[in-house]
Amino acid sequence: MNEKIVDVNFLEEKISEMKIKRDNILSQWAKEVCPHKVGDVVAVEGYSHKGKFCKIKTVSYKKDIFGGCVEYVWKVYGVVFKVDGSLGKQYVDWTQAQAEYTNKNKTGKRL
């Protein structure tokens, strides 16, 4: 096999390992800084489900790019409760930036 191909394959392997490590670090960071934890029941703000409650299913991170700058923010996914109190099939998600915007402006409107 060509030596350059071997070098490229080696680099691709290292890049994959580094991406996995980055994902693990950022996932842990998101879980630490997010005000919501998996299993929390919270009121939905600023969405079409406003006033309803949801149960947080996952906390993860999202890569945002603002004006050419990369920023990582937490992101949560939750399942909306039905009127009868059982968990429904509708999901809602929001990011740190959306939560900060809604809280700051108290819009109560869909973002």
Rounded alpha-carbon distances, angstroms, from residue 53 to 24, 79, 110: 29, 8, 16
pLDDT at 67: 84
The number of residues in the chain equals 111
Q: How far is CA 35 from the centre of its chain?
A: 12
Is the predicted pLDDT of residue 35 greater than 60, yes or no? Answer: yes
Is the predicted pLDDT of residue 93 greater than 70, yes or no? Answer: yes
Which range is least confidently modeled, 2-11, 47-56, 85-94, 102-111? 102-111
Answer for the pair 88, 81: CB distance below 8 angstroms, yes or no. Answer: yes
pLDDT of 37-83, one tens digit each?
999 998 886 567 777 899 999 999 999 888 889 999 999 999 999 88
Annotate 24-75 with three-state secondary structure. HHHHHHHHHHCCCCCCCEEECCCCCCCCCEEEEEEEEEEEEEECCEEEEEEE
- What mean pLDDT is reported for the chain? 85
Per the structure block, which two tokens stand in for 81? 């409760």
- Distance of alpha carbon 96 from alpha carbon 111, whole angstroms: 13
Is the predicted pLDDT of residue 23 greater than 50, yes or no? Answer: yes
